Amino acid sequence: MAGNPVILHSALAPEALADTLLRSIDKDVAGLRSLMPWFIRLVWKGGSREVRGLIAGNTFRVKRWNAMQWSPNFYGKWEADGGGTRIEGYFDLAPTVRWSLRLTLVTVLSLAVLGIVLNTLDITTGTHCPGRVLLIVETSPL
Q: 81, 62 in Cβ contact below 8 A?
A: no
Q: Are residues 63 and 28 in the same domain?
A: yes
Q: Is residue 86 domain-resident? A: yes
Evaluate whether 89 touches 2 at the Cβ level (below 8 Å): no
Per-residue model confidence (pLDDT) at position 70: 79
DSSP string, 53-85: EEEETTEEEEEETT--TTSPEEEEEEEEETTEE
Residues 28 and 71 occupy one common structural domain: yes
pTM above 0.85, yes or no: no
Lateral strand order in the sheet of 73-81: 6-10, 84-92, 73-81, 59-64, 51-56, 26-27
Question: How many CB atoms lie under 10 A from the CB of residue 63?
Answer: 19
Q: What does the pLDDT read at residue 101?
A: 92
| 84 and 24 in a common domain | yes
pLDDT tens, per residue, the chain with 142 residues: 567 899 999 898 888 888 888 888 887 765 555 666 777 767 766 667 778 888 888 999 998 877 777 788 899 999 988 888 999 999 998 888 889 999 999 999 999 999 999 888 888 887 765 555 556 667 777 6
Domain contains 133:
no
Whole-number Å distance between alpha carbons of 95 and 29: 16
Q: What is the pLDDT of residue 122?
A: 84
Residues spanned by the domain of 110 = 94-126
* Same domain flag for 85 and 98: no
* CA–CA dist 107, 112 (Å, integer): 9
Residue 25 and residue 97 in contact, taking contact as beta carbons nearer than 8 Å: no
Number of domains in the chain: 2
